Structure 1
Amino acid sequence: MTNALNLTAPVDTLAMEFTREFDAPVEALFRAHADPEVVKQWLGPRGLAMTIDEWEFRSHGGYRYVHSDESGEYRFNGTFHTVRDNEFILQTFEFDGAPDMVNLEYLWFEDLGGGRSRLRGRSICPNTDARDALLSSGMEGGMTEGYEKLDELLARR
């Protein structure tokens, strides 16, 4: 079963918010965000290869990865500010193609019982132009495809 992504951008805010349910326990969903070998298998849209240059998944750790396809490379980096197992991640996110446009991202992991979980997120952009550029870039489609890949991965485990 594929669960729908609900992505909104509340008017007069710098935020984007989303929710997505998964047919997997919260521990498996959290591990899929924590383990770089698992992250590489689902993060981003189909058709992109992913390499991870740095992945220190802990409070005050950092990350740097590259998505690539025949059109080129897309580099991303950030800091894991706060990590609480199976519960919460607070991180920054920056695309190298838009330097100095750093987002602050909150991820909450919720146990729904019965082997199901919910991921709730809020990304705060530096300004509305940056937020609107992300929304018009196909980000929602990329998130949807990535979470569909994650569904497939979690179903195999």
Structure 2
Amino acid sequence: MTNALDLVAPANSLAMEYTRDFDAPVGAVFRAHAEQDLVVQWLGPRHLEMSVDRWDFRTGGGYRYLHRDPEGGEYWFTGVFHTVRADDLVVQTFEFDGAPDVVNLEFAWFEDLGNGRSRLRGRSLCPTAEARDAFLSSGMEDGMTESYERLDELLART
């Protein structure tokens, strides 16, 4: 079963907020975010190949990864994991190399819904309204939707 992504960007706010339910236990959803070998199987649209330069998923750790399109275009992403609490919360920064000096602060809450189901709830705070609007118009929602569909498939296999 595919659950819908609910993404909103409240007017007069620098935030984008989302929720997405999963038909899997919260521990499995968290693990899929934590373990590099699992992350590369679901993060990003299907047409992009992902490779990881660094993945240190712990409080004080960080990441750098690449998405490459079929034509060879490269999209690098970098960030710092400020807080990681298993099965509960991740606070991180997110920076796309194609938008220098635009660093988002992101929160992800992992919620146990019972009966083997869970909810991922997130908030991304952008530095400016222009940055937020650029993310929203970039196809980010479609990319998130496809990523979470891929995560559903991964969770069903594991």
Which letter maps to 2:28? A
| Aligned 8 A contact 2:106 2:125 in 1 | yes
Alignment of 1:1-157 (within 5 A): 1-71=1-71, 72-157=73-158
Give the TM-score normalised by the residue count of structure 2: 0.99
CA distance in 2, matches of 1:105, 1:55: 17
Structure 1 portions without partners, runs of 5+: none
Offset from partner CA, 1:108-129 (integer Å, 9 cap, x none):
0000000000000000000000
| Aligned 8 A contact 2:47 2:70 in 1 | no
Runs of 4+ residues deviating >6 angstroms = none
- Structure 2 counterpart SS, 1:7: strand
Give the TM-score normalised by the residue count of structure 1: 0.99
CA distance in 2, matches of 1:40, 1:140: 19
Which letter maps to 1:122? R
Shift of 1:46: 1.2
Which letter maps to 1:21? D
Offset from partner CA, 1:44-79 (integer Å, 9 cap, x none):
111100000001110010100000012301000000
Structure 2 portions without partners, runs of 5+: none
- Structure 2 counterpart SS, 1:58: coil
Which letter maps to 2:40? K
